[in-house]
Structure 1
Amino acid sequence: MEWSSAIKGFQAYLKLEKSLADNSVESYTRDIEKLSQFSDIQAEKLKPESITLNNLRQFIAWINELGMIPSTQARILSGIKAFYKYLLMEDVIKNDPSELLESPRIQRKLPDTLSYGDINKLIAAIDVSKPEGARNKAILETLYGCGLRVSELTELKLSNLYLDIEFIKVTGKGNKERLVPIGTAAIKALKVWIENVRVHIAVKRGEEDIVFLNRRGARLSRVYIFLMIKDLVKLTGLKIKVSPHTFRHSFATHLVEGGADLRAVQEMLGHESITTTEIYTHLDREYLKSTISQFHPRS
């Protein structure tokens, strides 16, 4: 059975037999579509009836790698179980592969995810009347708007900003470069910093191409970014632990929960996975750009 046919039948079952609201049906559908995306990028493309328990465990590990919060993982698991109960009832499958599926035990604690409101609070707490305020606002907008690692942010170069076409080039782990779309809020903040403040700084030799500088004209340290965010969290009274990675985690979570394609999000994050790396290298820039424009709240 093709995924499209299975999903269409599942939708009818949820509406007619389960009498679920349209929003619930849509939510279940998005979750199964994520499983469909995962199946499409396997070496042997998997159909709904050929999925095994091991495949489902690999899928859960895959979405966990994107940094989804536990409640989202639980919801997706619920959708998968309902889908396979439906296939079992329709005699499409003889055994339910999701019957023994459990939430994965995450070995390292994922950082908290900021809500969109929390991110706005942190940015609003920055005193933009000070020179460093314009820089710090641009830092947070870029962290959240592009999902960068803190090291990628501190090493970001002016020559790798293509703001006219709404892209930046990022050097990630293993010196691998990737193009990441950048939204209008981050572009605006970067232009204010670069054109109005950075131009007045006496830049140290060798740092001419670095975007984010301290008052002495040298690139910022990772420690400074951590401390700056810590001060803002204290100022706003937020009760969760926030680090630069929290913004990256929030970037991915908000996109995926909004319905963005997992492959596009993973390409933007610069993640590598043995089951997905090959296809990510072939995504074109316009597709990535349209994804962030459609799903990122600050675009």
Structure 2
Amino acid sequence: MKPTLLVLAAGMGSRYGGLKQMDPIGPSNETIIDYSIHDAIKAGFGKIVFVIRESFEKEFKELFNAKLAGKIDVDYVNQELFKVPEGASYNPEREKPWGTGHAILMAKDCIKEPFAVINADDYYGVEAFQTIADYLRNSISDQENCMVGYQLANTISENGSVSRGVCATNENDHLETVVERTHIEKLPENIAYLEDEKWYPLPADAIVSMNFWGFTPKLFDHLDSQFKTFLQEKGDQLKSEFFIPSVVAEIIEEGDTQIKVLKSNAQWFGVTYKEDKEKAQNAINKLIEKGVYPSKLWE
């Protein structure tokens, strides 16, 4: 069975200053998503599911339907603030949806096979897609899940703070804990995260999650249950987020699943901030010069 790729593209890009999901970085107006999908098709994925917002649905579909017609099956789901379990309540002044866990939950009805999850604004690398596709094709039980881990130092923006899931593994490369740090920066003396107005150092080679996960459909049962609890406890907060690393941490603690941390030498880069775009463009141009990609990706 071919795995599915779930692309989290609903973020509005508040730090970036626009819809970074649709911002071209390639020489023929390719977006970062284009390169991820190209790598996924090459690795053997059979379907793409985009999580988007109704506010830009028309433009998004027009852009990607034209590119992907005849190349791979495509589906779309919307992540909206009001899409919560029946009877759930939340602060009426809240403006944004509930984060990555909520985004994945939106795809519950259209994914029935093992699937990978990526951010729309991150470049993960050809080798990483092949590694996770091979793992998902060989997955034989609902307890077998995975993630591609990256070294923290290779994922930091020079232009501001980033959010990362900081991971700890055992001797078998299974994930033991993952903690979402929502404000990590490269300081003059080290890399550190900010919490309660204090800075705490992190090792440069710490393994972090870039939201490149591999799951079986059983994950949706966990998401359903945990999201209901989350809304009961934090639904009244204006900026609370239902992060997928927090979901994973809880199911690991429950002993219901194992997460294999897959090692990859793939190059990662992203466009969290507008200033990151030039660096991403330069990285893509170097990959084209090496022959990894053609200058016109979809020809």
Q: Greater helix share, 1 or 2? A: 1
Alignment TM-score > 0.5, same fold:
no
Q: Name which structure has the greater RCO, CA cutoff 8 Å, separation 6+.
A: 2
After TM superposition, the score normalised by the length of structure 2 is: 0.28
Structure with max Cα Rg: 1
After TM superposition, the score normalised by the length of structure 1 is: 0.28
Q: Greater strand share, 1 or 2? A: 2
